[in-house]
Structure 1
Amino acid sequence: MDITHDYAVQIEWTGNRGTGTSSYRAYGREHLVTADGKHVIEGSSDPTFHGNAERWNPEELLLAALSQCHMLSYLHAATRNGVTVLAYTDAATGTMQQTADGGGHFTSATLRPRVTISDPTQIDLAQSLHAQAAAQCFIASSVNFPVGHEPQTTAAETTAAETTAAEASAAR
């Protein structure tokens, strides 16, 4: 059974500096990304392409979408497999290659999830769930370049109070 989901966003270019696109350097790349009921995303192009470094560029947003999608798929897989995730971060990177015709494309992305779980006996299981998350990520399934994964999973350390209580119990 095919189920479809539709999405809508609006883009508004705000970079007209008075003369529109009269020349390559005459206009700003600033724009707004909006969707009903959501916060505005202030966008621009990468500074390499005369964009505003203080705003999100499409390349960063693509990488963020890949990272978010993997995280959300992973959290779902963890829940379904009885793994309690306490913390999750990712330091994702991507490579885009420009082409001679002025275009370009991403050649790869690498996600580096760092996951902390509650039960140290589930580290191997938790680590293995990244493959399931990768297979279920809608965004990664939609791109035509490899998305690599370099996950690390650790268990939460016991607090000093837990350690003291355990030591006291063992001394009895």
Structure 2
Amino acid sequence: MFILSRYGPFWICTTLIFVAAAIGTFVTYVAHKLQHKEWEYDITLVTWSAGLFYGYATIVPLLLYIILKYFSAPSGMVQLFCLYGYSLFIFIPALCLSVVPVEIFRWVIAGVAGFISATFVALNLRNHIVSAGESWFIIVAGIFVLQLALSLALKLYLFTVTV
């Protein structure tokens, strides 16, 4: 069971890529058809979301691992990859809810998803971060800012419909 759980972050990121592309395509298709405009598929949704999700789930845990090692805080690289991968799960239902054509609702969904994801990471790293000494607040603030930045990037690129 433990070995299988290490594949979860990969599959969550992969699912996010296809859900983001499918939902983004569907929403823009419907918006174009309602306004009787011609619609063309945008392949960049797939490549952009792949770079964003795989890059985020790889680079951020790696940087956090280096930072925690610098402060002599106990952490494992595989655990951090898993933690960040699983923290992205909340964005799957958030992307599905982005179909609702109310812009304020999309902002709220993106913000709530980012906050839940940031809280999940911070609470699971609490013991590691506290052992980092006085710098724990900077590390927690960095975790929150990065998770909220991801949420903002998703809102601006994937949760927005332009016709």
TM range (shorter): 0.3 to 0.5
Higher Cα Rg: structure 1 or 2?
1
TM-score, normalising length from structure 2? 0.35
Instruction: Specify which structure has the higher proportion of strand.
Output: 1
TM-score, normalising length from structure 1? 0.34
